[in-house]
Amino acid sequence: MKRGFLFGVAILFLGGLTLATAFADRVAPYDPNLENRAQALHPPTPLHFWDEKGEFHKRPFVYATQMGYEANMLRTYSQVLKKKCFLRRGRHAPLGVQAPGKLYILGTDSRGRDIFSRILYGARTSLSIGILGAFVSVAFGFLVGALAGYFGGWIDHLLMRVAEFFIMMPALYLLLALRGALPPTLDSFQVYLLIVLILSAIGWGGVARVIRGMVLSLRERDFVLAARVLGRRTPEILFRHILPHTYGYLAVIVSISIPGYIFGESFLSVLGLGIQEPAISWGNLLTESLSYSVVRFHPWVLFPGLFIFLTAFCLNIIGDALKASQSPEDKLKENV
């Protein structure tokens, strides 16, 4: 019961995030690059139903805010209780607020940009890198593992030694070495593609090893032997007769691999080696959190990290559910 509930919550969260990301132009309350320096590092805007006199309002509202400074010159914001700004449909988004109020759901960054809007737009980059990286890694790992297991001999020996080299290398240092070897004068799209390829190069070795073991068992099955007798070509045998029997494992490994690739992109972007301004990703949204003073006084800058954690957590729940739903035969083949 508990596992089913968590699985449902994970599906709802990822489904809602995917829809909000796909329609970020309509969901985000503000342009992600719109700067309002007068409201930099503004805390999340609280919603109210009761006003300062204790009267209840059916429509939620926010108070306009006024910026000030403390004795140590720390920027503060106070509510102007006489200026109630009711929520209404925005010009381009479902949620807006009457002027002069501002609806900062998750606060703003040091340049006054709405963090919630930037998270939605950044999800397009981070999620797509995770999904593409996982699929490229799994596809290449399947191809290498299938060829090694199907042909055996020196091909198996050569391909597995290469796979073991990538498995043996520490992923963190390999990630930094591959990215550091590339020229720094690359545009955002080129960096995007290179990060996908680098992350894929790190993760395919383990997939190839498991697929090889599965193919070693499958190649002796009657349906594969019959296909050989009928003169079927190797690509047809691999993709038509062997690939369908690995779907369970591949689905599990894709769902589990995506969070790792999202973490990899975030790690590179935080260090300045990944997606950089003006492009948006969850990784470069966390650059401000590297400052202890910013995190101490403005903890809402960590919200992008919370979205990374929740996405990884939900994907791992889905991966565990898919693994638990595999048949005993599939689990046996996976452990070959």
**Cα–Cα distance, 107 to 39 (Å, whole number):** 10
312: confidence class by pLDDT, cuts 50, 70, 90 = very high
Same domain, 49 and 136: no
Q: Tell me how far apart the alpha carbons of residues 322 and 253 are, in angstroms, rounded to a whole number.
A: 10
CA 216 – CA 147 distance, rounded (Å): 10
Of 64-73, 196-205, 229-238, the range with the lowest mean pLDDT is: 64-73
**295, amino acid identity:** V
Say which amino acid occupies 13: F
What does each C-alpha distance from 195 to 136, 206, 266, 321 come to in angstroms?
Answer: 12, 19, 11, 29
Look at residue 53 and tell me if it is in a domain: yes
Q: Is residue 108 part of a domain?
A: no
Maximal C-alpha separation, the chain: 86
At 219 the pLDDT is: 86
Is pLDDT larger for residue 174 or for residue 8?
8
Helix and strand tally (H, E) in the chain? 13, 4
Q: Are residues 287 and 243 in the same domain?
A: yes
* E strand spans, the chain: 48-50, 56-69, 75-88, 96-97
pLDDT at site 92:
67
**Do residues 151 and 65 share a domain?**
no
Give me the residue label for tokens 């969260």: 13
* Residue 215 belongs to a domain: yes
Residue 185 pLDDT level (bands cut at 50, 70, 90):
confident
Do 178 and 296 fall within a single domain?
A: yes
CATH number at 217 reads 1.10.3720.10
Nearest to 283 by CA among 273, 298, 295: 273
For residues 74 and 223, membership in a common domain is answered with no
- Residue 244 pLDDT exceeds 60: yes
Under 8 Å CB-to-CB from 286, ≥6 apart: which residues?
Answer: 266, 269, 270, 301, 302, 304, 305
Q: At 127, which amino acid appears?
A: L
Average pLDDT rounded to a whole number, residues 286-310: 90
> What is the model's pLDDT at position 107?
92
Res. 332 pLDDT band, cuts 50 70 90: very low
**How many other C-beta atoms lie within 10 A of the C-beta of residue 10?**
22
Specify whether the CB–CB gap between 113 and 34 falls below 8 A.
Answer: yes
pLDDT at 330: 52
Q: What is the pTM of this model?
A: 0.87
For residues 224 and 288, state if they share a domain: yes
| Total tally of structural domains belonging to the chain | 2
Q: What is the C-alpha to C-alpha distance for residues 311 and 131, in angstroms, rounded to an integer?
A: 12
Per the DSSP assignment, residues forming a β-bridge with 172 are none
Output the CA torsion 69→72→75→80 (10° steps): -40
Instruction: Based on the fold, state whether residues 142 and 216 are members of the same structural domain.
Output: yes
Across 115-135, b (16+ Cβ under 10 Å) vs e yields bbbbbbbbbebbbebbbbbbb
Residues 86 and 175 in one domain: no
Do β-strands 56-69 and 48-50 pair in parallel, antiparallel, or remain unpaired?
A: antiparallel
Is 129 a domain residue? yes
251 & 303 share domain? yes
Q: Could you tell me if 168 and 238 lie in one domain?
A: yes
Q: What is the pLDDT of residues 112-147, one digit of tens each?
A: 999 999 999 999 999 999 999 999 999 999 999 999
Q: Is 10 within a domain?
A: no
Regarding whether 241 and 173 lie in a shared domain, the answer is yes
Domain membership of residue 24 (yes or no) is no
pLDDT of residue 328: 45
The parent domain of residue 55 ranges over: 45-103
60 and 128 both lie in a single domain? no
| 281 vs 326, higher pLDDT | 281
Q: What is the pLDDT of residue 74?
A: 79
Distance in angstroms between the alpha carbons of the first and the last residue of the chain: 31
